[in-house]
Amino acid sequence: MATSFLVLVACQTSAPADQESLPKTPTQPASQPAFLAAATATAQAHTPTRTAAVPATPTPTRTPKPTSVQAPTPTARPTATAIPLIVSVPTIAPPANQTDGPAVTIGGVRFAAEIANTSPLRTIGLSGRPSLPSDTGMLFIFDSGLSSNFWMNEMQFPLDFVWIGADCTVVDITEDVPNPESPSSPLPLYASSQPAAFNFEINAGKARELGLATDDDVRFNNIDVQGADC
């Protein structure tokens, strides 16, 4: 048994020298067992391939159109209705013989006056009228400052002539001058017994009724006519 041990040692000690004398060759990797290669190939075949993710194209969001909402119609509030206030106001009648228009005041008596201060107006006068309102007369004004003679051509009612002097007093009164009975009736002329600047014609009988007399003061009111200076 001792001999065998020595032989084994000798063999083991001599081996390295032989190895150093042999040329070195590259070591080939040991081939894998067949069953291991097949398993690897199968694993590779079943490994999922990683695909690069494609960014999804964003779908544009449709903005909803604003829906028109009809505003509620405001309910009209009832308005307060004004109740007319009826107030009874006593009517005051203007004094007799008073007017805001042209007027002639004789001895304190006021007459509404129509004015005849042009030749056509003086020629017509009160002719053709059926009547003259009470407390009204027609004042004849002359450019010369002197009254002319008068007649009753085409008159339909009688008159009183009140002759007024330049000193603004009554110088004469011709009462109840009759109107002609027919177109063919004669037409007498009438004139003042004293120089007169104006003639004021009123309804017949008024002078006596109102107590008008010579020397009464005369005033013209609201008569803006050249020559009417009373």
Mean per-residue pLDDT over the chain, rounded? 75
- Judge whether 162 lies within some domain: yes
Residue 169: predicted pLDDT: 98
- Judge whether 93 lies within some domain: no
Cα–Cα–Cα angle for 50, 55, 56, nearest 5°? 120
Residue 59: predicted pLDDT: 53
When pLDDT is cut at 50, 70 and 90, the band that residue 62 belongs to is: low
When pLDDT is cut at 50, 70 and 90, the band that residue 22 belongs to is: very low
CATH number for the domain that contains residue 153: 2.60.120.1140
Q: Are the C-beta atoms of residues 181 and 148 closer than 8 Å to each other?
A: no
- Judge whether 49 lies within some domain: no
Report how many domains make up the chain. 1
Q: What residues contact residue 109 under an 8 Å CB cut-off, 6+ apart?
A: 97, 210, 212
- Judge whether 41 lies within some domain: no
* Percent of the chain whose pLDDT exceeds 70: 57
- Which carries the bigger pLDDT value, residue 216 or residue 30? 216
- Judge whether 200 lies within some domain: yes
- Judge whether 117 lies within some domain: yes
Residue 205: predicted pLDDT: 97
Domain that holds residue 108: 103-221
- The residue written with tokens 């009736």 in the block is 185
**Sheet strands (E) in the chain:** 103-106, 109-116, 136-141, 159-164, 170-177, 198-203, 218-221
- Judge whether 114 lies within some domain: yes
Q: Give the tens place of pLDDT for each residue, 177-217.
A: 999 999 999 999 999 999 999 999 999 999 999 999 999 99
- Judge whether 144 lies within some domain: yes
Q: For 37-46, what is the mean pLDDT?
A: 45
